[in-house]
Structure 1
Amino acid sequence: MEQLGIIKSNAEIRESARKQLVGRWGPAILAYFIITIIVGLPGTIPDVGFIISLLIAGPFALGQTIYSIKFKRGEQVFIENIFDGFKRFSTAFVLQFLISLFVFLWSLLLIIPGVIAYLGYSQAFYILNDNPGLTATEALNRSKEMMKGYRGKFFMLQLSFLGWGILCILTLGIGFLWLVPYMNISFANFYDNLKNAHGSF
């Protein structure tokens, strides 16, 4: 666990993720690949695809969060953990719906307010995972509070993967099998570092 008050650089966060993935790439690649396939599949279904996507987006977002944070923390993790979000279906569904709605509404003003809103809500599923008794609104509010002063840092962390993303496209998408786990474990490290540094949330 990180020491209280110590905020890591984004380079250190990515390095931590790489170390955690050593010897464990296979399970991580499989887990995130399954999530990508299942979440993307409804888009190929005419008429009802959008409704299905709307229903499963939240639970899978929570399931992915659960898998990522357990993986990062060195806990025992299984492929089936990606489905754990369905155990809290209603809260996960409402949380994803509210995030999508608020980001959309802020984006109507301009793109930048939408991005700022997204960054503010970015830790909500992690917070919900650590505090299962929270409502979706409470998780959102805690995320906004947690991200005060750190939206830019998280944005730069995400942006740091852009070059890797371009390279993955050049590999006809095969490289994303490695990039997606790397990104998700890095984001889990960002959350845990911020949480432990503040000693709250």
Structure 2
Amino acid sequence: MISQCKRAAKQALQGRWWFMVGAGLILTMLNSIPSLISPATYVDEESLTALQQFIDFTTLILSILLIPLSVGWFWLTLEITRNKNVEMAMLFEPFFKMFWKSIWVSIVIGFFTFLWTLLLIIPGIIKAISYSFTLYILKDRPELPAIQAITESRKMINGYKGKAFLLSLSFIGWFLLGIITLGLGFLFIYPYYSVTYAQFYEEVKGKQNDIKVDE
């Protein structure tokens, strides 16, 4: 299944590599805005305490407001996987279709994953995998409440968590290459990984639909 997903991702990305590189650059630059606003150090912490707090608060709010952009990336990779015609505007689609829901569901996922990680790293990884289909599900079923979408993700990926982990693990070599190239390699690696995982969602969804038809 993993090799099949990778082959399908490469085929889907043919003629779209540079488009996804551009989308990835836009995603990275916009998500970097909060860190650019918040300085790493303060000259005089005592005299700038109020300013520091204001800047930190502004940075937090901006980071939250930009969450739909990352959701848009998930949706874009799903459209690429389905060989749909894509435009850069699709990256901003969640801002207009489900702004608050995309923020809420991302916060809930992060919170749940954090709580499980406090127990041990492995349970945190397992839960992160369990929630990994949530944003795709919201793309397909936007009427679902955030918590129900998370629940549907847990149900759908049940029995496939091991494969999901191995799929991510199979990209270790690529991620190391990205580090060696000082991050430049990630311009191509991240779209490849993202589209592959979206294809994995499609494969699991297709198998479950087949089971329902047989029933």
By the TM > 0.5 criterion, same fold? yes
Aligned-partner Cα distance in 1 for 2:127–2:3: 24
* Partner in structure 2 of residue 106 of structure 1: 116
Report the alpha carbon displacement of residue 40 of structure 1 after superposing the two structures with TM: 2.6
Shift of 1:17: 0.5
Q: Deviations over 1:110-143 (max 9, x none)?
A: 1111111111000000000000101101100000
- State yes or no: 1:70 paired with 2:76: no
Is the partner of 2:32 in helix, strand or coil? helix
CA deviation after TM superposition for structure 1 residue 66, in Å: 1.5
1:84 aligns with 2:75: no
Q: Quote the Cα distance in structure 2 between the aligned partners of 1:137 and 1:181.
A: 27
Indicate the residue corresponding to 1:183 in structure 2.
Answer: 193
The whole-number CA distance in structure 1 between the counterparts of 2:182 and 2:71 is 28
Q: Which residue of 2 aligns with 1:37?
A: 29
Q: Which residue of 1 aligns with 2:5?
A: 13
Residue 115 of structure 1 pairs with residue 107 of structure 2: no
- The letter of the residue matching 2:11 is K
Q: Render the CA deviation track for 1:59-99: whole Å, top value 9, x for unaligned.
A: 12321122111111111110110001112111101100100
Q: Return the offset for 1:159.
A: 1.2
Distance in 2, matches of 1:110 and 1:44, equals: 33
- The answer on 1:137 being equivalent to 2:147 is yes
Aligned Cα RMSD in Å?
1.4
Extract unaligned runs of 5+ from structure 1.
Answer: 1-8
- Report the alpha carbon displacement of residue 193 of structure 1 after superposing the two structures with TM: 0.8
TM-score, normalising length: structure 2:
0.86
Q: Is the 8 A contact 2:20 2:191 kept in 1?
A: yes
How many pairs are equivalent? Answer: 192
> What is the Cα deviation at residue 108 of structure 1?
1.0
> Which amino acid counterpart does residue 106 of structure 1 have in structure 2?
W
Distance 1:31 1:152 in 2: 30
Q: Deviations over 1:21-58 (max 9, x none)?
A: 1122111111122112212321222222222112322x
Choose between structure 1 and 2 for higher RCO, CA contacts under 8 A separated by at least 6 residues: 1
2:171 corresponds to which of 161, 178, 193: 161
- The reply to whether residue 151 of structure 1 matches residue 143 of structure 2 is no
- Calculate percent identity across the aligned residue pairs: 37
**CA contact 2:27–2:70 (8 Å) conserved in 1:** no
Partner letter of residue 81 of structure 1? M
Q: Distance in 2 between matches of 1:123 and 1:146?
A: 8
Q: Which amino acid aligns with 2:21?
A: I
Is the CA contact 1:62–1:92 (under 8 Å) kept in the aligned structure 2? yes
Q: Does 1:22 align with 2:14?
A: yes
